């Protein structure tokens, strides 16, 4: 699932992963990567 920590394009700092939703019945996890210094984020859906 999570292999490397992405870097923010705006600040160049590592983005922190945060589990938004764990859908066990479907077998997937939605994770938000958050950059606190620039107040940006993106989400990614991982399917098991």
d(CA 41, CA 32): 7
Express each pLDDT in 1-48 by its tens digit: 567 889 999 999 999 999 887 777 788 888 999 999 999 999 998 887
Main-chain dihedrals φ then ψ at residue 29, nearest 5 degrees: -130, 135
The model's pTM is: 0.76
């Amino acid at each position: 699932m999570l292999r490397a920590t992405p870097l923010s394009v705006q600040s160049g700092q590592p983005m922190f992963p945060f589990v938004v939703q764990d859908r066990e019945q479907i077998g997937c996890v939605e994770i938000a990567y958050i950059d606190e210094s620039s107040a940006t984020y993106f989400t990614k859906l991982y399917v098991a």
